[in-house]
Structures are given as C-alpha cells and as structure tokens.
Homo-oligomer: A and B are copies of this chain.
Amino acid sequence: MHIHIENDASAPSALHLSPDVLQQHLDRHPELRNRFTLSENSNPAHTATFLGDCDLLWSGRKLALDSFHTPRLRWVQIMSAGVEQWLAHWPPGITLTNASGVHGAKGAEFILMAALMFNFGIPGFLQDQAQRLWRPTFGGCARGKNVLLLGVGGIGAAAASLLTAQGYCVTGVTRSGRCDADVARCIRIAETDDVLPQVDVLVSTLPLTPQTEGLFDRRRLDLLPARAGVVIVGRAAVFDYAALREKLCAGELAGAVLDVYPQEPLPVDDALWSTPGVVMTPHCSLDDHSAYLTGCLAVFIDNLVRDSRGYPLRNQVDVARGY
C-alpha cells in the first residue's frame, strides 16, 4: 500500500512531514511495519503524478482534489481542522480525516485568557490607556459568569474543561443539543436566542458549514447584552463582522478577542484594526508549531492502526454535514 506525503513548500519546516519520520512512527507498530511504501513531494508541478499512484494521502497543503486523477486513493489525512475548502472539491467515495483535537490544548488556554480579559475589562482599559485616562472599575470575579460556547468539538471541549474548572457556567451549543464535554448544559443552535441576553462571554469555535455560515447576523448579535465580550477562533464567516464592528463602535459590546477574519491577512485598510475594544491575534493562537506535526501524526498513526484492524477511524469528516 502506498502513502504519499504532500508538503506545503511555503509552510515552516516544522510542519513538513518527512518520509523518514513517518517510517520511524510506522516501525513502532508491528501491524504497520513493512506494510507501506512512501513518497514525498512539495512541488505542485509534480503533485498530479504522485496522486495518481497513491492509496493514502497525507496532505499539508490544500488541494482541489476533484481536479486530479486518483484511481487508487481511498483516504486523505489533512493537517487542518477546518475542511470547508477541501469539501468544495471533494470526489465521492474518498474518506477524509482531519486534525481535530490537535488545537485543543493551546486553543483552550487562549479561550480562557480571552474570557478572563473581558472579566477584567482589558479591552476598555486599553482604550483608556491610549487616552491616558485613569478610570478604575471594581467588578467581580470571573467565577460564576456565563459563557456560551458555540461548537463543542476538539477545541470547544478542551475549552469547556478549563472554563468549568475556573468556575465559569458554560453552556455548550451543538447541532444535536448534546455533547460529552464538561459543560453545565448543552443546547441546540435554535435555542441560543433565549440564552444570548444572559451571556457574559460568547465563544465561537464553529466550523464553516452551510448551517453555520452567517449564523451570527446582526439580529443575533443584538440579543447580547452590552457587558458581553465576543471571542472568535472558529471560522470568521459564521459572524457578520460589519455588524460586530458597528456594535463595538457604538459601545454595545464590551469587546472582541479575534483570531480569525473574513479576509486573511486582514487588509491594511480594514477598519477592524482600530475598532475600539478589539484585541487581534493574526490567526495563530490555536496552532502550536512545536507540537502540531506530532499531534497530526498521532492521529494518522492511530488511524492506520484502526484501519488495519477494521475499526472506525477517528476524526472522520461527515462530508454531507460539512465537519
């Protein structure tokens, strides 16, 4: 069986998987040893040739897979959690597994940080600091405040654990209204409207799917109280950023800690850069390059073992559902 590794030449070398490293990991498992041939490529001009010959594909680069001839390909392991760009060009009959879970540890810490920043009024104090204004406020503890957590997948579940341990009252939001994560309760998306007026911190880890696109439009944002802060680490297109910006400018939200944007890199003339209450990180706060490749590889090796035993794969994307 042949595994092809497609690396992204423009990515940092810490994100390149070498055939040697993959072989070392395969050799640690008796079931995987001597079962695979390996190839590697990072030159887009040669990708088609390699894809024509492989059974399994590890890809660190986004590919419009339906534009290639892939007669033997049956399974693709990708290095991202978000899959909407893959699914736009997905040939039928091929299995897709993603990197869900790899962002959990760092993403959860980032979400906890952002929630605490709202509790301590940091977005407002940064504006005061810029104007050299000394205006203390003596609010309460974060403990007991309400977090609405949109999406309880790998990142959301990890965040739920940290937030709950910190004393936040976490309400999870999932498609089914059910989850196994450490939340006080879990509701369906249709039920969020009733909860939004009590929210202190709104956190979105939602993927982009036909169901989530534009979900947080102006009407839903208007249901949030002015004390609420918004944290977006999932896909940006779930939110109406123009409406979010207008509400921040009008003082109708306490602030926004954002890692993702409608266009990335954010254009230099975008008004978001200087919107009051916005704290921006440039789409890097969930990715730990020192651990990322290892995390993805752990998913892949585990799945190769499962595949060899005929067990269901981890992180298998439901192509129809979109995540």
Contact = CB atoms under 8 A, between A and B. Distances in A.
Contacts of A140: 106, 288, 290-291
Contacts of A292: 138
A132 interface: yes
Given A129-B280, A279-B126, A283-B136, A288 B141 contact: yes
Nearest to A270: B132
Interface string A119-147: 11110011011001011111111110000
A134 B279 contact: no
B125 A280 contact: yes
Contacts of A120: 109-110, 113, 281, 285
| Copies assembled | 2
A117 interface: yes
Interface residues of A, number: 50
Given A142-B109, A273-B132, A282 B116 contact: no
A94 interface: no
Contact of A139 (B12, B119, B288): B288
A89 interface: no
A268 interface: yes
Contacts of A278: 129
A176 B278 CA distance: 44
Contacts of A128: 282
29 contacts: A12-B138, A105-B141, A105-B143, A106-B140, A109-B141, A109-B142, A109-B143, A110-B116, A110-B120, A112-B116, A113-B113, A113-B116, A113-B117, A113-B122, A117-B117, A122-B279, A125-B279, A125-B280, A125-B282, A126-B279, A129-B273, A129-B278, A129-B279, A134-B264, A135-B282, A136-B283, A136-B284, A139-B288, A165-B165
Given A113-B119, A135-B282, 7 more contacts: A106-B141, A109-B141, A109-B142, A113-B116, A134-B265, A139-B289, A140-B290
